[in-house]
Amino acid sequence: MSELTDFQRGQIVGSQLGGMSVRDTAKMCDVSSRTVIKVMSVYNNYGHTPLVRKNPKVKSQTKKSTVEKASGEGEGTTGVSLLKRDEDKKITESSTEQKE
1 pLDDT tier (thresholds 50, 70, 90): very low
Range of the domain at 12: 6-46
**SS3 state at 79:** helix
Classify residue 54: in a domain, yes or no.
no
Classify residue 57: in a domain, yes or no.
no
pLDDT, tens digit, 9 for 90 and up, residues 65-99: 555 555 555 555 555 555 566 666 666 565 555 55
Classify residue 52: in a domain, yes or no.
no
Classify residue 51: in a domain, yes or no.
no
pLDDT for the residue 3? 86
Average pLDDT over residues 5-10: 91
Classify residue 55: in a domain, yes or no.
no
Domain count, the chain: 2
Looking at the structure, do residues 69 and 95 belong to the same domain, yes or no? yes
Classify residue 21: in a domain, yes or no.
yes
**SS3 state at 58:** coil
Classify residue 16: in a domain, yes or no.
yes
pLDDT, tens digit, 9 for 90 and up, residues 11-59: 999 999 999 999 999 999 999 999 999 999 999 888 887 776 666 665 6
CA 65 to chain centre: 18
